[in-house]
Amino acid sequence: MLRQQLLGCQKSLQILLSLSLSAIYLFPILPSLAQTSSVPLPSDAPLELGLLNKPNGSVITASTINPQGLTTPSLWLAQANSENKLLDNWIAYPASAKQPGRVDLIVNQQVWSILDYLERYSFVNRLGSVARKDVYNLRVFNYQQELLASYTCNFQTSPTPCRIQLNSLNRLGLQQSSDEIGKLR
């Protein structure tokens, strides 16, 4: 009797598992196209390293000081708290009629390369959140002008949907990209 009950439970479990796997196969859990397309891609404008030494009137760098008060975006505290001197410098471009403000971070490649995926993600998320508060998107570069990561938001909607993209080299030296899409507040 006990054996028959166990066999019955086992068959029920197999049927339930088959139905669950079928449902996942037929209806995969993916972000909707509306959600994916609502967040713009990172800017494709080139990194302008020359502005670090000679910023023009509208561009802000880590060495820009405003005697009247805080300059936005305010990344100085984030740079001071940056672990192991990861964040070397940044260039902040003001918003234009076509695009929101943008901050290009320049990181120490040696430190970036020893971070694992979660440490990189945490760094980009932390500084991206700071930039987002001042309505800026964020890109992360090394001094070789390679795009390493981005934190991009659609500031036209509420709540503001954002995307974190981390680029990394795989073991074969090929560029890989991973996206994290979500509504971050």
pLDDT digits (tens, 9 = 90+) for 57-112: 777 776 665 544 445 556 656 656 654 588 888 888 888 888 889 999 999 999 99
Give the DSSP H/E element, type plus range, for residue 72.
none
Question: Contact at 8 Å (CB) between 184 and 160?
Answer: yes
Tokens found for residue 37: 């397309």
> Which SS3 state, helix, strand or coil, does residue 26 take?
helix
Strand partners, 167: 177
Domain ranges for the chain = 1-30, 31-183
Render pLDDT for 120-144 as a digit per residue (tens, 0 to 9).
999 999 999 989 988 999 999 999 9
